[in-house]
């Protein structure tokens, strides 16, 4: 059977075993994530942390523009079950359309603040906003910095949960993640959601194996460690907050924790396949900038082989129907293993979170998986990142060389 599936040549056999390796790795990574989220963190890790750990903290939320849920999202930060905290909303200017919503939200709320950071010229605008929020929080008696995106709606226990592991002095940073609900079940929504789940699986496995992978939409760090590791200095020249901080934590051989109980849920997804591809491309660019070895030696070979296998199934079918070659001699066996293995793997996804219209996802999964390769290939020749309408030209090791606003693109 294996001889038939693997084909007659060294090339088809190599592809067959590569397909087996990729499928096995994807399946095991997803299974580990399911176990970590549903059992390991809750029953093995969380009980080790002091339950009464609740130092005063500052929640810093950079904002830009408005969305359909902005008001309710911002209000949720004042409904947290936590004894002492302040919330700092930061925009780049007073003219930002989020400012009126922020002002209405913090009205009559003494622990709410709103500040403007100004336009960034040396780093990502989000980093610039975060640093402005930290500068304000430094004047308060806070011991922990918590960073959150304005497009999440945290539950009442979120703040206590994201901070709890910091009770262990050996843990330097914590992170949550988000779950995108593709309520319409469109190809565009699934393109965005699938890439997001893929990153979540990778990050969860990284933490399970002793590594680190932070999501800037929900992460926390002790003020003492933030200052000792000179994170502000790094952020003031970096193009992103989370993976640049991941790099610092990794280089200093510190520990982090994925807090699986801090999953942020949202139905705000990108509306086109092109936007989803561009979004994932930006995430891969962040990997290329701050973890070049992983991008080149691990990610790129896997993507090249995966894309070859995706294309090989229709090619093998064509050759077999035309009578030029048999299906298996054209590498169809390797492609079949890859397709079926990936479908089995993504069938575990509903164990991680709600997936409405899942049958549509299974139908389009091969096409959407191919968009991952398109996103990856898009990073091969680039050394700039466009984020929220701003282009950041980068130096080799990730520092921002030049910031280009829309008027200076051409």
Q: Angle between the 358-377 and 273-290 helix axes, to the nearest 10 degrees?
A: 50
For residue 255, the domain's CATH number is 3.90.550.10
Question: Which tens digit of pLDDT belongs to each residue from 308-333?
Answer: 999 999 998 888 888 778 888 888 99
Residues 322 and 275 in one domain: no
Query: What's the pLDDT band for 89 if we cut at 50, 70, 90?
Result: very high
The pLDDT mean for the chain works out to 94
Strands (E), 23-137: 57-62, 85-91, 112-116
Residues 355 and 284 in one domain: no
Residue 383 pLDDT > 90? yes
* d(C-alpha 281, C-alpha 303), whole Å: 13
* d(C-alpha 54, C-alpha 16), whole Å: 52
Closest CA to 281 of 191, 365, 348: 191
Residues 312 and 287 in one domain: no
Residues 281 and 184 in one domain: yes
Residues 61 and 12 in one domain: no
Spell 61-89 as b/e; 16+ CB within 10 A means b.
Answer: bbbbeeeebbeebbebbeebebeebbbbb
Cβ neighbours for 68, distance < 8 A, ≥ 6 positions apart: 268
pLDDT value of position 22: 97
Residue 5 pLDDT > 90? no
pLDDT value of position 407: 59
Average pLDDT over residues 178-183: 94
pLDDT value of position 349: 98
Average pLDDT over residues 125-138: 97
Share of the chain above pLDDT 90, in %: 87
219 pairs with which residues across the strands? 147, 175
Cβ neighbours for 38, distance < 8 A, ≥ 6 positions apart: 351
pLDDT value of position 172: 97
pLDDT value of position 44: 95
Query: Does 192 fall in a domain?
Result: yes
Residue 410 pLDDT > 50? no
Share of the chain above pLDDT 70, in %: 99
Domain extent at residue 68: 50-292
Residue 2 pLDDT > 90? no
Asked whether the whole model's pTM tops 0.85, one would answer yes
Evaluate the CA torsion angle 362, 363, 364, 367 in order and state its sign: positive
pLDDT value of position 68: 81
Total domains in the chain come to 2
Q: What is the dihedral of CA 115, 227, 283, 361, to 10 degrees?
A: -80
Query: Does 408 fall in a domain?
Result: no
| String of DSSP letters for 210-230 | T-----TTEEEEEHHHHHHTT
């Amino acid at each position: 059977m294996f001889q038939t599936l693997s084909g007659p040549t060294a090339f088809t056999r190599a592809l067959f075993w590569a397909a087996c390796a990729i499928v096995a790795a994807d399946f095991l990574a997803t299974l580990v994530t399911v176990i970590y989220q549903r059992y390991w963190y809750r029953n093995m890790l969380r009980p080790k942390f002091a339950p009464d750990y609740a130092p005063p903290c500052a929640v810093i939320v950079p904002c830009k523009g408005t969305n359909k849920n902005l008001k309710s999202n911002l209000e949720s930060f004042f409904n947290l079950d936590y004894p002492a905290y302040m919330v700092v909303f930061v925009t780049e200017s007073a003219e930002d359309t989020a400012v009126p919503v922020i002002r209405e939200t913090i009205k009559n709320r003494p622990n709410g603040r709103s500040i403007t950071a100004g336009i960034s010229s040396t780093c990502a605008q989000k980093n610039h906003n975060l640093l402005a929020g930290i500068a304000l929080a430094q004047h308060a008696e806070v011991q922990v910095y918590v960073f959150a995106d304005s497009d999440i709606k945290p539950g009442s226990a979120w703040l206590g949960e994201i901070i709890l592991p910091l009770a262990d002095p050996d843990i330097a940073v914590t992170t949550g993640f988000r779950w995108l609900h593709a309520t319409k079940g469109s190809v565009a929504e699934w393109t965005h959601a699938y890439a997001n789940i893929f990153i979540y699986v990778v990050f969860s496995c990284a933490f399970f194996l002793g590594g680190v992978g932070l999501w800037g939409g929900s992460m926390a760090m002790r003020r003492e460690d933030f200052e000792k590791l000179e994170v502000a200095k790094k952020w003031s020249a970096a193009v992103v907050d989370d993976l640049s901080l991941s790099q610092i934590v990794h280089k200093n051989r510190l520990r982090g924790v994925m807090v699986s109980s801090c999953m942020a849920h949202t139905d705000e997804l990108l509306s086109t396949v092109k936007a989803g591809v561009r979004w994932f491309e930006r995430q891969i660019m962040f990997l290329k900038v701050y973890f070049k070895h992983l991008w080149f030696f691990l990610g790129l070979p896997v993507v090249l082989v995966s894309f070859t296998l995706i294309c090989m199934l229709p090619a093998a079918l064509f050759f077999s129907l035309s009578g030029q070659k048999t299906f298996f001699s054209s590498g169809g066996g390797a492609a079949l293993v890859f397709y079926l293995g990936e479908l089995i793997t993504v069938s575990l996804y509903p164990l991680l979170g709600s997936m409405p219209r899942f049958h549509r996802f299974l139908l389009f999964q091969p096409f959407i998986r191919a968009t991952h390769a398109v996103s990856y290939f898009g990073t091969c020749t680039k050394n700039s990142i466009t984020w929220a309408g701003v282009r950041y030209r980068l130096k080799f090791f990730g520092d921002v060389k030049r910031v280009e606003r829309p008027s200076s693109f051409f």
